[in-house]
Amino acid sequence: MLVLLALLLTGCAAQEPAPSVPRGAPGPQSDPASARPAPPGTAPPSAPPAARPTAIPGLGPRTAARIPEEARQVLVVTGEGVDANQSSVVLYSSEGPASGWEAAAGPWKAHNGMAGWTDHHVAGDLRSPTGVYSLTDAGGRHPDPGALLPYDEDPRFAVDGEGFFGEPLEGSFDYVVAINYNRREGASPLDRTRPLGLERGGGIWLHVDHGGPTQGCVSLPEQRMKELLRTLDPVRRPVIVMGDAETLSR
């Protein structure tokens, strides 16, 4: 329109009128059809829709809504079934609500509670508690491998005996990350404070896998535990989302 207006103004300023061009003659004329106004009610062309932020695969709306808005790291533990003791672990990261989520590590094979999963964990049920829990504290029998979370090195992380299938438990707590189920945040994983009461269990950790199911923890190979300890960053407010696949999909 600005070019057309400039041309019109230039024509008005000319000393002699421009010669008329017969209708239909070839030349740089405007197409009469293109100059017609749009029919009433016609919407102007719309801009392409903005890309939606990438959601975390496998998490339904109810589960995703429980992830704190400030969380920028989410460790997803997906059980094979409600009564299964094997699961898969993927770490997702995000730069903010508008950027969505992308896989940062995994998938890794893991073990969970011997009897599977539950949304009402009680002491001795051999099930891992489903839900969304923050990750704020770490520790282990071995020296700090470069953890970003506060790390408590303590010989009391030593463990012995055998697992459910006769596998040795020694070394299982060489590296741990406390899952904030029924515990006091900001304390060593060894802290025994149980805000929900002793009957609701506790001591639910991420720890080194011993080759079999757990009492209720989630276990990963030692190298993966070291990798997690060097990656989980308190500035990014990490959380764990854990449960069987069907429950997490809701």
Confidence at residue 21, expressed as pLDDT on a 0 to 100 scale: 40
Domain definitions of the chain by residue range: 70-248
Q: What's the chain's Rg over C-alpha atoms?
A: 31
Q: Which two tokens stand for residue 4?
A: 């057309």
Confidence at residue 38, expressed as pLDDT on a 0 to 100 scale: 53
| Residue 41: C-alpha distances to residues 1, 32, 36, 135 (Å) | 22, 21, 14, 55
Superfamily of domain 70-248: L,D-transpeptidase catalytic domain-like (2.40.440.10)
Residues of the chain with pLDDT under 50: 1-35, 50
Give per-residue pLDDT as tens, 55-92.
999 999 999 999 999 999 999 999 999 999 999 999 99
